[in-house]
Amino acid sequence: ARSRASITFRDILAASQRQPVPQRGYQCVSCCRVFPTLWSVKAHIQHSSQEGYSCKVYYRRLKALWEKEHKEQEAAAPRV
């Protein structure tokens, strides 16, 4: 169920911060295409399969990995 969580703007921004973009815009870190607005990159991700890309699958997997990492960090943190 968690792996089917919707991809948010925050997820897109977090992923894109790890990639330098050579021009103004937002980069899809899956296919490396650059879009002029955050809204347009989110629409691209949502409809990527229609364009022959698997960006939506990539972002869902990335989000699942981040959630797993976050849970592991919480479990490892000392309780006070």
- Give pLDDT tens digits for 5-17: 687 878 777 777 6
Positive or negative: CA dihedral 69, 59, 40, 8: negative
Residue 19: what pLDDT?
59
As a whole number, mean pLDDT of residues 2-27 equals 70
pLDDT at position 3 over 60: no
